[in-house]
Structure 1
Amino acid sequence: MLTIIAKDALRARIEKASGGKQTVLYTAKGQPSHMNIVPGWRLEDIAPGLGQGLHPAFIVDGHEKREFFYGSYAGTLSDGELLSLPDMPAACRLDFDMAWQAARACGQGWHLSSNAERAALMLWSHAQGCASHGNTQFGQDAQAPGEKGVRIDGGACGLDGGEPAVLTGSGPYSWRHDHSPHGIADLTGNLWEWQTGLRLVDGEVQVIPDNNAVHASASADSRHWKAICLSDGALVEPGTVGTAKLDAPTDRKDGNAGLPVWAEKIGNRNGMAGSNANSPGLLDAAFDAMRADAFGAFQRLAMLGLAPHARTGSAEQVYLRNYGERIFLSGGAWYSGAMAGQRTLCLSHPRGHASTSVGARPAFIL
């Protein structure tokens, strides 16, 4: 039975130490999970220019939520449940459906972290001036090599080989979303993390509206998926004429087709099996044009972390394949270097992909 209110010693200690920023929730099997409490915020307060009202992460089935709970640490597997625990090797080799099921196994309200939640955290961190840091170079930060975590294999940070992922939360405070001792750890680098609620299908961007992905089916044939009209940002049925798609400016079989562009039709297939499109800049090149020509779509895409809310000068990366179904992975991994970050988009892998650099994170909403 899920315990939310019980004030056991562990929960009381975590809440006191963090000043109420973190808590411990218990799963259906009674296992503890360390969670950050993320209070609701309004677009006009944190991301001016993207509209008014609560960010979509705080809306489920039309109901406004005061907060959601986000795993303080990347997920670990225990007895079939996806938990958030400190100083642990994060679970990897999870495909999307395995991660989704392990998060749901924790009980009512538990879910795989969603893109809406990831976008809300990213926009909030940017507004606070908290730059993305993390394990992006084999146990250390590529741009600040003095920032190190504890590698799982005990190896020296910065050296390739072995198991260069770090124990959850073992890095410095700058590796947390608010640069504080009690922030959310490792959103940048370490492991790519599956997110529910966002995918590409033959290049068409599809989302599950608001934060409905916390309980809605994300199966390939789910009726909950919606596309985004490129002219005004309206949510429409997939396959509708004029929806937002990520196209490649040239047709390159090696996948390195240049900076992706927003389009109503796919003109060039981006790569072939075994290749990725590696495109620095996270669509910044289309920033001014989209704001001028398709402001409604820009607002929708920006609030979901798919278009830059503002120019940052950073160069997070976009990976995509615009054929077949591709499920979203966020953040980068231990090898991503300066291209890792909370804005990094990986939309190149199918739901069955699993590797040592891919993990997941639990979240909870009442």
Structure 2
Amino acid sequence: MVRIPRFNYEDINQAILDRLGVDLMLGTGTPTMFQRNGEQMGEVLIAKYLASSGANGGCSVIGGVQPRTSVNYDVAKALCNNKGEGWHMMSIHEWAAIALWSLANDTVPRGNTNYGRSHENKLETARRSDNGLPGDTSGLARTDTGKGPATWSHDHTEWGIQDLVGNVWEWLDQMMLSEGQVITTLDNNPEIVEENWIRHAAYFDSPVDNTGGTVNAGSPILNSRITNRNGPLGDDNSNNPYLDNSHFAAIIKSETYQKAEVLRRLLIESESTTTVSGAIYCRNYGNRFPLRGGLWLNGSGAGLGALGLSNARTSAISSIGFRPAFFA
């Protein structure tokens, strides 16, 4: 596990402003990662590696093995909770705070984004599950946990959180997209049941009303309501159009949309495209649960900002994993 000590939004925001010349308008005070039901925490522990298979059907956190995949959202969450008191699946609050910390410290990680290597630096490689050639588009290019270089960790050291970018998408807790509406907890409290999560005045609208086929309907629009829905209400399937943009922060905000600080803090909206990178994918019908980071073939679409909101909670495929976290 990697201990992440508490920091402040104003310090992170100032460091980003000083280095990149952009104000991300994150506000002040303690990041939501370190708030649990309103109480402040001095640190949170995050699994250094993606979860892998453990004894008796459980999950472990071990370097140098294949990550555990092909588990749906509920199974992944239960595997983390079953490790004991204080254990939980990594939340959107934790992911976003760590991503912003990396941006502020100029240690945004690379990863397995090009079939066993980084698309940004093709000399950065790790062993593929099929022992294949880095860059070979055939075979299974998923790499072993934590076997990439230090630049694949959140702080660019061997002690940091590994493989946040690329390799496999990661399920995150405490956020969902319901019929296109953004719903989250307000702080890092995995014990709050979904029915009590907060519905924000934020929707991923579509530029067109197309509902035919599994085609790309364009870039999502952050709106105060849905004007164009690309599939039937209540349909969690993937048989209708989807929305995407190559950078989550580049999507348009409608004239009626009211910007929200909490969503900037969670990297769901952004004041600027000068931030962590990554594509966004979503469907604005049915219930969708969040994936972040991207996978081994996403190239520039992978990143700390990459956000997948196209999958139902029942999705269980080889390109999706998860990561435990722990309240000390």
Calculate the TM-score normalised by the size of structure 2: 0.89
* Paired residues of 1:255 and 1:270 also in contact (CA < 8 A): no
For residues 225 and 171 of structure 1, what CA distance do their matches in structure 2 show? Answer: 37
1:14 matched residue in structure 2: none
Structure 2 counterpart of 1:117, from 77, 83, 94: 94
SS of residue in 2 equivalent to 1:47: helix
- Structure 2: any 5+ residue segments left out of the alignment? 15-24, 232-237
Picking from 86, 95, 102, the partner of 2:63 is 86
Query: What CA deviation, in whole Å up to 9, does each residue of 1:174-205 have, x standing for no partner?
Result: 11111111111100000000000011000000
Q: What SS does the corresponding residue of 1:223 show, helix, strand or coil? A: helix
Residue matched to 2:174: 197
2: CA distance between counterparts of 1:283 and 1:50? 14
* Larger deviation, residues 308-317 vs 273-282: 308-317
Given that residues 127 and 147 in structure 2 are in contact (C-alpha distance below 8 angstroms), is that contact kept between their aligned partners in structure 1?
Answer: yes
Q: CA RMSD in A?
A: 1.9
Deviations 1:269-322 (A, max 9, x none): 2366165323112132437x88x9734x1x111101101254327752110000
Provide the rounded CA distance (Å) in 2 between the counterparts of 1:56 and 1:109: 17
Kindly provide the amino acid, as one letter, of the partner of residue 58 in structure 1.
F
CA contact (8 A) 2:112 2:165 kept: yes
1:256 paired with 2:235, answer no
**Where does residue 136 of structure 2 map in the other structure?**
159
Residue 290 of structure 2 aligns to a residue in which SS?
Answer: strand
Cα distance between partner residues in 2 of 1:75 and 1:311: 31
The amino acid across from 1:270 in the alignment is N
Asked if structure 2 preserves the Cα contact closer than 8 Å seen for 1:139 and 1:158, the reply is yes
**Structure 2 residue aligned with 1:69:** 45
Q: Alpha carbons of 1:315 and 1:257: their partners in 2 closer, same or farther (altered >3 Å)? A: farther
**Contact residue 330 and residue 346 of structure 1 kept, 8 A:** yes
Alignment of 1:1-366 (within 5 A): 35-48=1-14, 49-78=25-54, 79-213=56-190, 215-217=191-193, 222-228=194-200, 243-252=201-210, 253=212, 254-270=214-230, 273=239, 275-286=241-252, 294-295=258-259, 297=260, 299-312=261-274, 316-366=278-328
Does the 8 Å contact 2:91/2:173 carry over to 1?
yes
Greater RCO, CA 8 A, separation 6+: 2
Which amino acid in structure 2 is aligned with residue 225 of structure 1? Answer: W
Looking at structure 2, the residues matched to 285 and 347 of structure 1 have their Cα atoms a distance apart, in angstroms, of 14
Pair 126,340 (structure 1): closer, same or farther in 2 beyond 3 Å: same
What percentage of residue pairs aligned between the two structures are identical?
A: 33
Mind listing any 5+ residue stretches in structure 1 that lack a counterpart?
1-34, 229-242
